[in-house]
Structure 1
Amino acid sequence: MDITAFQTFLAAAATGSFSGASQRVNASPSSVTERIKQLEHRLGTKLFIRDKRGCQLTPAGEKFMGPARQAVRAWEVARYEVSLPERFERSLSFGGQYFLWDRLLLGWLDDVREAAPDLALRVTAGAWARLNRDLAEGILDMIVVHDPIFRRDISAERLFEDQLILVTAGDPARWREDFVRVDWGRSLGLEIAARLGLRPESGLVLDLGQRSARWLITNGKSGYMPEYLVKPLLESGKLTTIENAPSFEFPAYVCWREDVDPDLAKEVVESLKRRSPAP
């Protein structure tokens, strides 16, 4: 079983091009081409149709996605678990959006380590797009994000309710002139712009998580931020809410792969709920 070839196949399928796959797996485009060619030879079928725009999965390639993900995940789990001390009987790869760690997930991490000393954890922070991708490709077992990608092989549950609110660190009367778009997902940016009649006049999009709030404060700008995240900044007066501005639902979800042990998934979800803000 050639795990490198499987990883290269999944990268090409995710990016839609061999050149994109080469960047993701840190290999030359010619190496990617050769790996896919050898994999197709061993399977006895074509996995991709290539043209000037990139590559598309064939029907056989679509069928191979599931087994390839399972193989890569099995390898990652095996490589990780064989290096663990004997006291760890279970393991979980977990990811959360950057801005959720300070106020939520760091405390949860302390809780779960104390409650489940037999559970080995590998945790990471990232942007929603990368976390969703890593979950789909089997690199992560469970994630907490505000913009999940719903799939048949991934379970999802609302963790807590939140909303995006318009805040400013400058003059509330000038919030339109000071507005900067903060990226919170695929569709919310378009919805916010349409509801408020805004144009991207600043030429800037922030995707910095909690650091976006710091930037707004430092530069006296306005933008949409999660209420849970900026509540302490509103209470301290560093940010001000723009009255009568529309708010937008922004719930957080916990998502996990269906091949995660059901008892472990339930245990972790319940521990996350205990740490989450009350509705």
Structure 2
Amino acid sequence: MKIAAIQTFLSVVRTRNLISAAEEMNVTQSAVSARLDTLEESLGQILLVRSRKGAKLTKAGFAFLGQAETIVNTWENAKARASLPKGLTNLFSLACEPNLWVNLAETWMTNLRASHPDTAFEIWSATSREASEWLQSGVSDAALLYEQIVAPNIVSRVFSRDRLVLVSSVEREVMPWDPAYIYIHYGPEFRRHHVQAWPKDETARVSFNAPDWALRHILKTGGSAYLPDRLVKTHLDNQRLFAVKGAEGFEQTIYLSWRESHDEKFPWLVDQIQDSRHP
């Protein structure tokens, strides 16, 4: 089974028709059809229902989609490792929850680049599900997430903790409920703590799953929300935002997970955990 056939399948899924996929891959439409035929014959399953109106995934196609993405990502990763720029001897691939990049993963990567000039680095934005799949398949070497990855041959340790503080665009004390409050989805751990601290039966009119988006929204339109102190420190210092007086704060645990076999290849993974325990 050629990698090009799988890449073509993913292109058709993205574009939803064979003509657009042919243009994207710079091949003829007949070549796209032939690659899909070869792939389906190899798997013994029909992956796409093709028509003049476009292409739709079958049940088997849905089942194969995640594996296809992993195969292609693994291939791209292998090519990158085989063609490192001159002077570089290693490639470190990190899958990172987008919300953990600013003033956390970014700072860590900057320090690693300075201390390991012979290593190339690549950072992929990933959900927990994607990061787990990439880590187990070897596409990524490590993952930085709000939850630990539990799988054979995967090590997960506490990397850091986000201190979540209730901030507001106006200086005020804590109140039973702020109509301008914005809820941010940090996951089940935060939700449990939030319900315990704020049992009042009110629902936020606006919610985000990305704290940096919520921050920009509050700075533009006003309101309040629980945000990581690493994101709001500058705004608190210049009084564009204010910590709500008397409000309870929370902690959100951040985990670094990596393939156990990489302890010797990337010793800074273990060193980072040791440093986080002994600041």
Q: What's the TM-score, normalizing by structure 1? A: 0.67
CA 1:265 to 1:6, structure 2 compared with 1: closer, same or farther past 3 Å? farther
1:251 Cα deviation from its structure 2 partner: 0.7
Q: For residue 241 of structure 1, what is the aligned residue in structure 2?
A: 244
Q: After superposition, what is the alpha-carbon deviation per residue over 1:18-37, rounded to whole angstroms, capped at 9, x for unaligned?
A: x9x813xx453897998676
- Count residues with an aligned counterpart: 257
Q: For residue 228 of structure 2, what is the aligned residue in structure 1?
A: 226
1:68-83 equivalences under 5 Å are 71-83=71-83
Q: Is the 8 A contact 2:263 2:270 kept in 1?
A: no
1:85-104 equivalences under 5 Å are 85-104=85-104
Letter of the 1:55 counterpart: K
Letter of the 1:22 counterpart: V
Structure 1: distance between partners of 2:163 and 2:195 = 17
Q: Is the 8 A contact 2:182 2:214 kept in 1?
A: no
Structure 2: distance between partners of 1:70 and 1:91 = 18
Q: Residue 159 of structure 1: SS of its match in structure 2? A: strand
Q: Is the 8 A contact 1:182 1:212 kept in 2?
A: yes
Q: Which has the larger radius of gyration?
A: 2
Q: Residue 88 of structure 1: SS of its match in structure 2? A: coil
Q: For residue 209 of structure 1, what is the aligned residue in structure 2?
A: 211
1:56-205 equivalences under 5 Å are 65=67, 71-125=71-125, 135=135, 139-148=139-148, 150-152=150-152, 154-170=154-170, 171-172=172-173, 175-185=177-187, 187-188=188-189, 190-191=191-192, 194-195=195-196, 196=198, 197-202=200-205, 204-205=206-207
Structure 1: distance between partners of 2:258 and 2:161 = 19
Q: Is the 8 A contact 2:90 2:120 kept in 1?
A: yes
Q: For residue 267 of structure 1, what is the aligned residue in structure 2?
A: 268
Q: For residue 24 of structure 2, what is the aligned residue in structure 1?
A: none
Instruction: Among all aligned residue pairs of Structure 1 and Structure 2, give the percentage whose two residues are the same amino acid.
Output: 23
Q: Residue 265 of structure 2: SS of its match in structure 1? A: helix
Q: For residue 250 of structure 1, what is the aligned residue in structure 2?
A: 252
CA 1:6 to 1:278, structure 2 compared with 1: closer, same or farther past 3 Å? farther
1:115 Cα deviation from its structure 2 partner: 2.0
**Runs (5+) with no aligned partner, structure 2:** 22-31, 50-55
**Runs (5+) with no aligned partner, structure 1:** 12-18
Q: For residue 28 of structure 1, what is the aligned residue in structure 2?
A: 17
Q: Is the 8 A contact 2:167 2:226 kept in 1?
A: yes
Q: After superposition, what is the alpha-carbon deviation per residue over 1:46-98, rounded to whole angstroms, capped at 9, x for unaligned?
A: 498x9x99626899x79x95xx6775354212321343224211112223334
Q: Residue 93 of structure 1: SS of its match in structure 2? A: strand
**Of 129-138 and 208-217, the range deviating more from structure 2:** 129-138
Q: Residue 155 of structure 1: SS of its match in structure 2? A: strand
Q: What's the TM-score, normalizing by structure 2? A: 0.67
Letter of the 1:200 counterpart: T
